[in-house]
Copies of this chain bind each other. A is one copy, B any other.
Amino acid sequence: VDRVAETLTAEAARQLDEADPLRAFRARFRLPEGVVYLDGNSLGPLPRATPARLLDVAEREWGESLIAGWTAHRWIEAPARVGALIAPLVGACADELIVADSTSINLAKLVLAALALRPGRRVVLAEAGDFPTDRYMVEGLASLGLCVLRTVPREAVAEALDGETALLLLSHVHYRRSARHDMAALTAAAHAAGALTLWDVSHSAGAIEVNLAGAGADFATGCGYKYLNGGPGAPAFLFAARHHHDAIRQPLSGWMGHAAPFAFEDGYRPAPGMARFLAGTPPVLGLAALEEGVRLVAEAGIAALEAKSRLLSQALIACVEAAGAGHGLVLASPREPGARGSHVAFAHPHAHAICQALIAGGVIGDFRAPDVLRFGLAPAFLSFEDVRCAAATLARILDTRSWDRPAFHARKAVT
């Protein structure tokens, strides 16, 4: 514990928290007592406004207006409205982003849209070891003969771009190591090879700055339940650069993506703009919860969030390295903040047991096989005191090897 205090005293943490321009946002989340929640990169916590919003949508909007709710309460506009709220967080214009389906389904839509824009090219280039669903979806499309999935190691991505490549598909921030790609450079490289880009920004959106327009990105998708705080299984979003809109063919063409859904026409005519990426009826409850979650990060502003994320993660790395000194804990993420997302990974041979001991001690991070501990630094609600407390708990666990004893069941974090 002393090792941590030498790095960050309780008083220093208090001063950092007092100087935090986002400190007021913490109270707008419901965070359980005695818990340090370092897994907001996996599932964001509950915004305090969300239960009341869900009640209002259910009791007043659905309960009283019934079918008329689609217009009376603008449910029909929710995919575009919540999309417009997300847009500035990822450097997109309001009309370039819409909320629909899941990240997986959106990946399929965007891969198919990209392939149609690059006739004669069939390769979707992806990174080995990237988040699995991205490659699983492309594998599925490849099994239909619609494309070829080519997977290369991270460092070989740029050089693997060639005249066969229709699409470069990458996670902006790696789900495990948190390494951040240079979106602008890789997009430029893809374009130079005549390919398009599709960025999965699930591990970026709402925590670090993403500049889809600035990078010239063609397509992107991301998840609503991580840093956007939309709740478990929240709807996802998708982005297409405006200059592609008119040419996009989106073959998962459901009625909500039709130019006139309620005309019940025999043939499909795509809606203008991003609306053609809608398929089925929008999930109104999920959209309402997502709207509340996004509102918090939108209000905080992405520049302030990234600035705080950098400070928090630097503090965490310093404190955890102090706690782990001599215990074989190794930083598995880039050290430089600009090369990282908002979570930090450490490797340890007993990472799983340590993660369980941390959870028992009130510090919730997560484990990724075989040996990675992930700590998410969601800047909208975490404090420097959280970071200090988590590291102090970790130090105690490592010093006492308490992760090695099944009887370890302390319920509260060290303070």
Q: Which residues of A contact B (CB under 8 A)?
A: 30, 32, 35, 37, 39, 42-43, 45-46, 50-51, 54-55, 58-59, 62-64, 66-70, 75, 101-105, 108, 112, 128-129, 131-133, 135-137, 139-141, 143-144, 146, 151, 176, 223, 225, 231-236, 249-258, 263-268, 279-287, 289, 359, 364, 366, 368-369
Contacts and interface: CB of A to CB of B under 8 A. Distances in A.
A54 B58 contact: yes
Contact of A232 (B39, B267, B285): B285
A396 to B, nearest CB: 22
19 contacts: A39-B66, A43-B66, A43-B67, A45-B62, A51-B59, A51-B63, A54-B54, A68-B364, A70-B232, A102-B254, A105-B254, A108-B252, A131-B255, A132-B255, A132-B264, A136-B258, A137-B279, A233-B284, A285-B286
B54 A254 contact: no
A334 to B, nearest CB: 20
Which among A67, A176, A225 has the highest number of chain B CB atoms within 10 Å? Answer: A67
A62 B231 contact: yes
B279 A105 contact: yes
A255 B46 contact: no
Contact of A67 (B55, B112, B366): B366
B46 A58 contact: yes
Contacts of A225: 281
Contact of A251 (B75, B141, B359): B141
B66 A37 contact: yes
Given A102-B281, A132-B258, A233-B285, 16 more contacts: A37-B66, A43-B66, A51-B59, A62-B232, A67-B366, A69-B232, A133-B280, A136-B253, A139-B268, A223-B281, A231-B284, A232-B281, A232-B285, A233-B280, A235-B283, A285-B289
Nearest to A37: B66
B232 A140 contact: no
- The number of times this chain is found in the oligomer is 2
Contact of A102 (B64, B101, B143): B101
A46 B58 CA distance: 7
Contact of A144 (B151, B251, B255): B251
Given A55-B54, A102-B279, A45 B69 contact: no
A67 to B, nearest CB: 5
Given A67-B39, A67-B366, A103-B280, A252 B132 contact: no
Contacts of A55: 51, 54-55
A260 B254 CA distance: 30
Contacts of A289: 58, 285
B266 A128 contact: yes
A78 to B, nearest CB: 9
A66 B139 CA distance: 32
Given A101-B102, A132-B266, A281-B225, A253 B137 contact: yes
Contact of A140 (B176, B252, B286, B287): B252
A69 B105 CA distance: 24
Which among A35, A62, A108 has the highest number of chain B CB atoms within 10 Å? Answer: A62
Contacts of A105: 101, 105, 252, 254, 279-280
B282 A233 contact: yes
Contacts of A264: 131-132, 176, 368-369
Contacts of A251: 140-141, 143-144
Contacts of A35: 66
